Amino acid sequence: MQSGLYGTSGNPVFSNISKLILEGRNDITDMNLLEISMLKSSLCYINIKHCTLLTDDGISTLLLNCRKMHSMVLSYTSFGNHSIQTLCSLDPSDSFSYHKDEHAHVMAFRLQELHLEGCEGISCAAMSQLVSNMNIVKSLCLRETSLADGALCNFVGSSLEYLDISETVVSMVSLAPVIRRNSNLSCLKTAGCRNLLFEQGEVQSTSGNKYGRFLQEITSTCYLEDVEMGWAFCPVRVDDLIPSFSKVRRMTVGLGTTLPENILHALPEICPFLESLVLRFQVISDRVVRNLLESSTNLQVLCLHYCLGNLTSFSFQTMAPALRILRLQWVTPWITNDDLTILTQNCNLVELLLSGCKLLDTSSQEIISSGWPNLACLQLEECGQITLDGVDSILDCKALEEVLLRHTVSMKNSIPMFNRAITTNNPAEEARILPSKIRISS
């Protein structure tokens, strides 16, 4: 980043920037945030996710200067207690002379979007202070943070549309009131929340805070479109999810629950608009997968990770014209080149992940590249001898942006294979051919 890039005097063309995305920039420092602070009159949205060099003090200074910001994606940064103090302190430049809610004079009150996934430097007390000040937030991600019942019980907002509390220790004591108050909630992610199973969390339920089980609460209040669930998500009958799941487009079900076959088989009926389905550690069958591919006509993403069951090649011997992303992680060890050929005829993929398919060989490359020439992402893990003689055919997929080869060929042979495959007399052509991201693990 050039010095003074965001200076309003030196670069007036940048002076009116309202939305700034710097996600993944490992070269961004606190000094750069000071430069960005010069956008204080216009900046409303910032995304600095995975900007790992930034400190809590640096982020706090940015927040102190840019008081108009109402949307922030700060996941996996050093955002912590100091930044929270800034968000929750009175704004000296606040133009409000009076407001019936005293919290309205702090920056946190005006936040509409806040994503803090993976921010581990937040104490329980600071989290409670932050949550109690956010009244109008619509999109809130506190995944993998210190969020607990004590903090979530202090949340009084009623405008939530997106809530991710995955991998936290909250229970129904605090979550139930949040669900009830936020009837517009369309996305709820609670993966890894084991305490949702228990009758009591760390905060004792008062006589005025009666709550039901997790499934009862979400089906009686919400019409969700995006769900990620595990523990406490235990539907038994199809009717348990109809009609509350009728608008679901994206569903992830993982560790902590095992959906019965009648529910899995009825997913096309329960979720007629389903576009993405991710199943982890579930028990699946040919009957379930085949019905999904045949009946979920909008299904674009199917991911099966570490699932059990008697899955065979029959599952994928059906047309799935809408399917674009297929990830089969340690669920299809029986896949052969013939199965792969049938798969190329039945769906038009742009992303493929195969793990543990040890029957594949060097001929599989040609099948993949000719069958899916528009493939943008290819990941092969423990897939037999598929790269024994090089990777020439893989690179025939001209749209490739990401390639992962893990334990498929020895490390010392992998790099020369790519070098031979892309060597031309034209450097520009080499840059065009080479995928932007290659990961090789021996």
**How far apart, in whole angstroms, are the C-alpha atoms of residue 27 and residue 54?**
9
Contacts of 353 (CB under 8 A, 6+ apart): 303, 326, 327, 328, 329, 377, 378, 379, 380, 381
Helices 337-346 and 363-371 sit at what angle, rounded to 10 degrees? Answer: 0
**Domain-by-domain residue ranges, the chain?**
1-93+101-146
What pLDDT was estimated at residue 414? 52
Specify whether the CB–CB gap between 112 and 133 falls below 8 A. no
| Band (393; pLDDT cuts 50, 70, 90) | confident
**How far apart, in whole angstroms, are the C-alpha atoms of residue 257 and residue 281?**
9
| Band (9; pLDDT cuts 50, 70, 90) | very low
* Spatial CA neighbour of 35 closest among 56, 20, 52: 20
| Band (6; pLDDT cuts 50, 70, 90) | very low
Cα separations (Å) of 99 from 96, 102, 103, 133, 235?
A: 7, 6, 9, 14, 45
Local structure of residue 354 (DSSP, 8 states): E
Mean local confidence (pLDDT), 302-315: 96
Contacts of 132 (CB under 8 A, 6+ apart): 103, 151, 154, 155, 156
Quick one: which H or E segment has residue 21?
Answer: strand 19-21
**Tens-digit pLDDT profile for residues 50-106:** 999 999 999 999 999 999 999 999 999 999 999 999 999 987 666 544 555 555 679
Local structure of residue 39 (DSSP, 8 states): G
Predicted confidence (pLDDT) at residue 160 exceeds the cutoff of 90: yes
What pLDDT was estimated at residue 396? 87
* Spatial CA neighbour of 194 closest among 171, 210, 226, 211: 171
Considering the chain, what percentage of its residues have pLDDT values greater than 70?
A: 83
**How far apart, in whole angstroms, are the C-alpha atoms of residue 340 and residue 375?**
14
Backbone angles phi, psi at 59, to 5 degrees: -65, -40
Mean local confidence (pLDDT), 43-56: 97
**How far apart, in whole angstroms, are the C-alpha atoms of residue 393 and residue 221?**
52
CATH class of 1-93+101-146: alpha beta
**Tens-digit pLDDT profile for residues 248-298:** 999 999 999 999 999 999 999 999 999 999 999 999 999 999 999 999 999
Specify whether the CB–CB gap between 260 and 240 falls below 8 A. no
**How far apart, in whole angstroms, are the C-alpha atoms of residue 243 and residue 229?**
18
What pLDDT was estimated at residue 318? 96
| Helix, strand counts (H, E) of the chain | 14, 16
What pLDDT was estimated at residue 433? 54
Range in 227-231, 246-250, 333-337, 423-427 with the lowest mean pLDDT = 423-427
One-letter amino acid of 324: R
**Tens-digit pLDDT profile for residues 161-215:** 999 999 999 999 999 999 999 999 999 999 999 999 875 544 444 434 556 688 8
Mean local confidence (pLDDT), 426-435: 56
CA torsion sign, 372 to 375 to 381 to 386? Answer: positive
- Is the bond into 243 cis (omega within 30 degrees of 0)? yes
**How far apart, in whole angstroms, are the C-alpha atoms of residue 186 and residue 228?**
12
Q: Which residues pair with 305 in a beta bridge?
A: 280, 329
What pLDDT was estimated at residue 285? 97
**Helices of type H across 44-123:** 56-65, 81-87
pTM score, whole prediction: 0.87
* Spatial CA neighbour of 290 closest among 309, 261, 315: 315
* Residue reference for tokens 């990941």: 379
Give the side-chain half-sphere CA count within 13 A for 188: 27
**Tens-digit pLDDT profile for residues 395-412:** 888 899 999 998 766 444
